[in-house]
Structure 1
Amino acid sequence: MDTCGSPPPVKRNRQSPTDDEDSVEIRAVLSHEYNEIALIKVHSCQLETKQQLQSVIQELSQKLPRFQHLKRVHDRNVLICPTSDVGGAESLEEHLQRYAFSAHVLRALCHQVKVVEVPARMPKLRVQYEQMIQHWPCKFHPNHYSESLRNGSNFSISQRIFHKRMGQLLTKLSTDVNKDRPVGICVDPRQPSIVSIAGASESSSADGHEHCSMLLVDFVARSQQGGALRSNLSFVEDQENTKTTLRGLPKAYYDYLKKNEAYQDLKFGAEISRKGQPQQQMSEAEHAQGADNLAKYGPYLCTGYDVYLLQEPCLMCSMAFVHSRAKRIFFLRPSDNGALVTRFQLHAVKELNHHYEVFQFTTDGSLT
């Protein structure tokens, strides 16, 4: 690959996608709950008459309140309990006797018992719902945003063009500035404006703190008068009385983009921290609310920011974006130790106190 650079391309109208951009898609990386149909085995019975229905359902709802995501009755078949609830040598009747069902309801529940497979949880997408009802009728509350993530309609045309452009820019910066090593870009999507750029150093494989994602988070902190890592890089200096700061941008990347005619329309800089204002006293929970707080209180770590990465981040780097409250992560190439798709889906872990969305650029090869 030629790393010596090439003449800058002719400036194009950014209102319409280029041929390269048309070949790139942006796929939301959804948790397994959006992609799989989980089934569980359940004991069911068949009522002899419809007149039994009211008393049976009334006692079941009081003593075995299960299956809120399912219709408990289907064609006179009634769901009783998961087969896993009935232990070892215990029969279903013996299990039900422990709940003190009335005699006539107990007889009804033990009539024509069979085991059926039903959905284990409520569907999140309509396509799941249509598959699940083949097994058993279930409840479904459509979520238009979830559907848009799946079908790719969550971004406007201008947003999609910008995201794809950032994907292309990752490759250019890696090739022309960082000797084919991974690169990351952090963007304030409100402008949109590039807040920070970082590239993996030669020592990245030996020192995890040199991963470009870790550097990127630290460089964002620099834009907020913070930062913990020592760096030999030169950073852009701010002019007096400026309303934005360029402190998170290494000069090598900034100068490359400013001198390249194809990128003259890009915006750079982060909002200056509002020192002494209410965000300084905000709780962790309040910061976790996300992008709305970026507009309300000003920058705090990566709150409300989008992150674009050439490589899928490892577990350590993915956790760094959790702690720094990133809004969305976009990446181009999967990694052997990637923690968002390849080996793990960190963003889908419910126990975390912050969750970001993840998107992967898919391409026919034009960006790789």
Structure 2
Amino acid sequence: MDLTASPPIKRARRQSLTPVEEEDITGIRAILSDEFDRDIKLVKAHSCQLETKQQLQAVIQELSQKLPHFHHLKRVHDRSVLICPSSDIEASETLEQHLQRFAFSEHVLRALCQEVRVVEVPERMPRLRVQYEKTLRHWPCKFHPNHYSESLRNGSNFSSEQRRFHKRVAQLLVRLSRDVNAGGPVGICVDPRQPSIVAIAGGEASRSPHEHCSMLLVDYVARSQQGGATATDLTFAEDPEAGAKTTLRGIPTAYYEYLNKDEDCKHLEFGAETGRTDEVKQQQQGQGADNLAKFGPYLCTGYDVYLLQEPCLMCSMALVHSRAKRVFFLRTSENGALVTRFQLHTVRELNHHYEVFQFTTKQDAKLT
């Protein structure tokens, strides 16, 4: 699969080198596919005007069998009928000659060749209501409202409490980078059900991609599940007691101690759920809304990932393979793969998709 072919490369404005401070973070926005933002392209189509409504049934029946185009459009508008895309008709032939190839009955062929004109119609189905309303100016389009997509676009998908929590975690990224990781990238993985911090990782952008912050974070999540493959000299927080239902194995001691000493962080919960026995999994299989709730932790399934820097392509793919639920980031990166150079999460061929959100800042407001 060629991940660089679709969707097209999208270059965002370069992030200023001015450091982002905690108080600069103002909001959050969803990073959606271009299908949600772009106006729908118009294409030319041949249409005809039927003389009577009695012709309609026979004409539509044969058209749907022999020229099954325009599934996203209403084939009939008043008595106008869409026949085929104009691009299907060769320059050397007329509409009638084109239709004769498909063995239309004589009375239908005659009806299709009356009062022919070329119209512009939407190339694809709209994803949002605002797009749908624009398409109506040209030709009626089929539309199935998706309230969640609308909420992502207008920013109403999070409650006020959820927004406050996301903002607090973004501010933690800034502080941990500044005070613990010498200004380097930091990532935090959160189980949103509690919510509880599962793992924290700090990386250096200049290092090998295998040691980027996102890659380390995924590995530290694996450590909380008795896995992990990265060799490290770091020490990790110890579980408070043997047989506990949560574990701190994914949180390096330096970050854990820093957060525990800070009065502003007393509200935070720490620890990843430990694995469940097969018996417990069977008992809870029918409960909950997702696999994390049903079966317990597996990689990053159901987890939210917060990153100071937009991840590169390799890191973004690692988050796909780890089955992350949502990815939040603060600063764009020159080689970022979620908004700057690419939108990996919008590639339909992937077998897993996570939602992506970017924190907005006062600096963004000045640039818009």
Please report the TM-score for the alignment, with normalisation by the length of structure 1: 0.87
SS of equivalent to 1:303: coil
Which of structures 1 and 2 has the larger relative contact order (alpha carbons within 8 angstroms, sep 6+)? 2
CA RMSD of aligned residues (A): 2.3
Distance change >3 Å, CA 253–CA 181, structure 1 → 2? same
SS of equivalent to 2:290: helix
Are residues 1:45 and 2:45 paired? no
Separation in 2, partners of 1:180, 1:366: 21
List alignment gaps of at least 5 residues for structure 1. 4-18, 281-285
CA contact (8 A) 1:200 1:211 kept: yes
The residue correspondences of 1:89-108 to structure 2 (distance < 5 A) are 89-108=92-111
CA contact (8 A) 1:20 1:366 kept: no
Report the equivalent of 2:128.
125
CA contact (8 A) 1:198 1:219 kept: yes
What is the CA distance between 1:268 and its match in structure 2? 0.4
Question: After superposition, what is the alpha-carbon deviation per residue over 1:72-105, rounded to whole angstroms, capped at 9, x for unaligned?
Answer: 1113221111123234534322221121111111
Report the equivalent of 2:183.
180
List alignment gaps of at least 5 residues for structure 2. 1-16
What is the CA distance between 1:241 and its match in structure 2? 2.4
CA contact (8 A) 1:291 1:327 kept: no
Partner AA of 1:56 in structure 2: V
The total of aligned residue pairs comes to 340
Partner AA of 2:132 in structure 1: Y
Question: After superposition, what is the alpha-carbon deviation per residue over 1:243-284, rounded to whole angstroms, capped at 9, x for unaligned?
Answer: 10000001111111001111011000000012556879xxxx
Question: After superposition, what is the alpha-carbon deviation per residue over 1:26-51, rounded to whole angstroms, capped at 9, x for unaligned?
Answer: 11111111112132221212223333
SS of equivalent to 1:359: strand
What is the CA distance between 1:195 and its match in structure 2? 0.3
Distance change >3 Å, CA 366–CA 265, structure 1 → 2? farther
The residue correspondences of 1:1-368 to structure 2 (distance < 5 A) are 20=23, 24-36=26-38, 37-201=40-204, 204-238=205-239, 239-276=241-278, 292-365=290-363
Q: Which moved more, 1:175-184 or 1:232-241?
A: 232-241
Please report the TM-score for the alignment, with normalisation by the length of structure 2: 0.87
Partner AA of 1:187 in structure 2: V
Question: After superposition, what is the alpha-carbon deviation per residue over 1:137-180, rounded to whole angstroms, capped at 9, x for unaligned?
Answer: 11211111111111111111111110111111111111111111
Separation in 2, partners of 1:93, 1:103: 11
Question: After superposition, what is the alpha-carbon deviation per residue over 1:1-28, rounded to whole angstroms, capped at 9, x for unaligned?
Answer: 9x9xxxxxxxxxxxxxxx948x611111
SS of equivalent to 1:197: strand
What is the CA distance between 1:317 and its match in structure 2? 0.5
Separation in 1, partners of 2:314, 2:279: 32
SS of equivalent to 2:109: helix
* Identity over aligned pairs, percent: 72
